[in-house]
Amino acid sequence: MDATLIRVADAVLAELNDYTFSMPFEAERVYLPRHTPKELKDLRVTVVPAGWDSNYESRHSTRRNCTIQVGLQKKLATEDNAEIDPLVGLAQEIEDRFREIKRLKSVEAILMTVEGLAVPADDDDLDQRKIFTSVLSLTYRVVE
């Protein structure tokens, strides 16, 4: 039996890969999204099963809040707004898609919250290596 967190992460992955966004990508599920700058020449989208909390829903069921992080990374040619703005826009487009569908197809999971980080404030990758990184945290509630 797959862990609930994995089933939710796989459902997020499937939704990302089945939908047509404004920028093309093939998302992958990983635990440690480590890519070399050369690998980031093209946009990389990763799905990370980040964690969960659980509690009793009733005497016979458990409520799990599963957090899935969706990361976008790309090596930049420059650090100007014209190159970064479309990537921030894609992050919002991904958020909008998950808010629109609210529920995942292959698992009974309801979207509860979305937190987004366009560019971390202390991002050495952007400052020194010119690598854009954005992270969306999607939290889904599953009752089992």
Collapsing DSSP states into helix, strand and coil, what is residue 37?
coil
Q: Residue 5's CB: how many other CB atoms inside 10 A? A: 18
Distance CA 89, CA 72 (A): 11
Distance CA 94, CA 19 (A): 10
DSSP 58-125: ETTEEEEEEEEEEEEEEE-SS-SHHHHHHHHHHHHHHHHHHHHH-B-SSS--EEEEEEEESS-TT-HI
Query: How is the chain split into domains, by residue range?
Result: 4-143
The pLDDT value given to residue 119: 65
Distance CA 106, CA 49 (A): 16
The pLDDT value given to residue 36: 86
> What's the fold here for domain 4-143?
STM4215-like (3.30.2000)
pTM, 2 dp: 0.89
Phi-psi region of 51 (alpha: psi -120 to 50; beta: other; left: phi over 0): left
- Each residue's pLDDT expressed in tens, for the chain with a length of 144 residues: 589 999 999 999 999 999 999 999 999 999 998 888 889 999 999 999 999 998 887 888 888 999 999 999 999 888 788 998 999 999 999 999 999 999 998 898 998 988 887 765 555 655 667 888 899 999 999 988
The pLDDT value given to residue 67: 96
The length of the chain is 144
The pLDDT value given to residue 141: 92
